[in-house]
Amino acid sequence: MSSSKLITLLMAIATGIALGLYYGWVIDPVEYTDVTPNILREDYRVDLVLMTAEAYQGDFDTEAAARRLALLGSEPPASIVTSALNYANRNGFTQEEIADLQTLLTAMQTYQPDGNINP
Partner 1 sequence: MMSRLLRSSLLHFILALLIGAGLGLAYSWQISPVTYVDAAPALLREDFKDQYRIIIADAYAANQNLPRAQARLNILGDANPIDALSAQAQRMLAAGEPFELARPLAKLASDLQQGFVSEPFTPTAFPTFNTPQAASTPTANETQPQAREEATFTPPPTVFFEQTPLSPITQETVTPRPTFTPTAGPDAPFTLVGQEPMCDPGASNLMQFILTDSRREQIAGVEIIVTWNQGEDRFFTGFKPELGNGYADFIMQPNTLYNIRIVTGGAFVQDISAPTCNDPNGAEYTGGILLTFQQP
Chain residues in the site for partner 1 (CB under 8 A):
5, 8-10, 12-25, 29-30, 32-37, 39-42, 44, 47-48, 50-52, 54-59, 64, 68, 71
By C-beta, is 35 or 119 nearer to partner 1? Answer: 35
Give me the least distance between CB of 22 and partner 1, in Å please: 8
Compute φ and ψ for 111, nearest 5 degrees. Answer: -80, 135
Q: Provide the 10 A C-beta neighbour count for residue 47.
A: 14
Give me the least distance between CB of 54 and partner 1, in Å please: 4
Element (H, E) at 10: helix 3-22
Cβ neighbors of 82 (< 8 A, separation 6 or more) are 105
By C-beta, is 44 or 110 nearer to partner 1? Answer: 44
Residue pair 85/101 in contact (Cβ under 8 Å)? The answer is yes
Give me the least distance between CB of 76 and partner 1, in Å please: 19
